């Protein structure tokens, strides 16, 4: 995925102007490579950037070490409360594979926000999408173990590319149960 893909995603969320496209492209700069296990954001610090994930997978853990987020190519990644409201981060984000990302610094986002009205619309849409992830995960966690797995597979079709232990944590299954469900699912495909 490229910056052009990001612009298409943003335009889908809320129409963006030519000026916004041009400025955002200039602000993103060069693509950065993260290697497996690189830490993107740490809990307890102020997050001063957002990222666009062009390839690879990022995982988010809460303060208890529980997996609460998976991000794949095309995702916009940050701790929203920290980035937008300036509070300390409540999530640790790290690469589970080699990743390629583009960074947008908060100071540059503020320039876009002051200059372009679509910035606020995009912010609202991105926050809404993150809240939807929380709601879907909460619904999933109320189900029985096998149903949690099936719910996860539906929402995260790239699950086979992720470590079982992280997926088990996200679905609140034991690693043994998760691995068994996964093997049965893949056998019956």
Task: Flag whether the pTM goes above 0.75.
Answer: yes
- Backbone φ, ψ for residue 45 (5° rounding): -120, 165
Q: What is the pLDDT of residue 115?
A: 93
CATH 3.90.1170.50 fits 3-137, yes or no: no
- Contact of 25 with 7, CB cutoff 8 Å: yes
Asked if pLDDT for residue 166 goes beyond 90, the answer is: yes
Going by pLDDT thresholds of 50, 70 and 90, the confidence category of residue 167 is very high
Please tell me the chain's helix, strand, coil percentages from 3-state DSSP, rounded to the nearest 5. Answer: 50, 20, 30
What are the residue boundaries of the structural domains of the chain, listed by start?
A: 3-137, 143-189
- Backbone φ, ψ for residue 41 (5° rounding): -140, 145
pLDDT in tens, 68-86: 988 988 888 888 888 888 8
Q: What's 88's DSSP letter? A: B
């Amino acid at each position: 995925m490229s910056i052009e893909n990001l612009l298409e995603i943003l335009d889908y969320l809320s129409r963006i102007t030519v000026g916004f496209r041009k400025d955002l492209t200039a602000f993103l700069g060069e693509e950065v490579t993260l290697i497996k296990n690189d830490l993107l954001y740490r809990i307890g610090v102020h997050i001063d950037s957002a990222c666009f994930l062009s390839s690879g997978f990022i995982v988010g853990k809460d303060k208890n070490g529980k997996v609460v987020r998976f991000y794949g190519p095309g995702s916009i990644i940050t701790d929203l409360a920290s980035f937008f409201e300036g509070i300390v981060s409540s999530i640790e984000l790290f690469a589970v594979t080699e990743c390629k990302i583009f960074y947008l610094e908060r100071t540059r986002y503020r320039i876009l926000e002051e200059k372009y009205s679509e910035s606020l619309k995009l912010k609202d849409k991105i926050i809404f999408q993150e809240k939807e992830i929380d709601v879907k995960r909460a619904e999933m966690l109320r189900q029985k173990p096998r149903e949690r797995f099936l719910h996860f597979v539906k929402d995260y079709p790239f699950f086979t590319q992720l470590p079982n232990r992280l997926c088990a944590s996200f679905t609140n299954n034991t690693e043994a149960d998760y691995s068994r469900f996964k093997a049965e699912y893949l056998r019956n495909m």
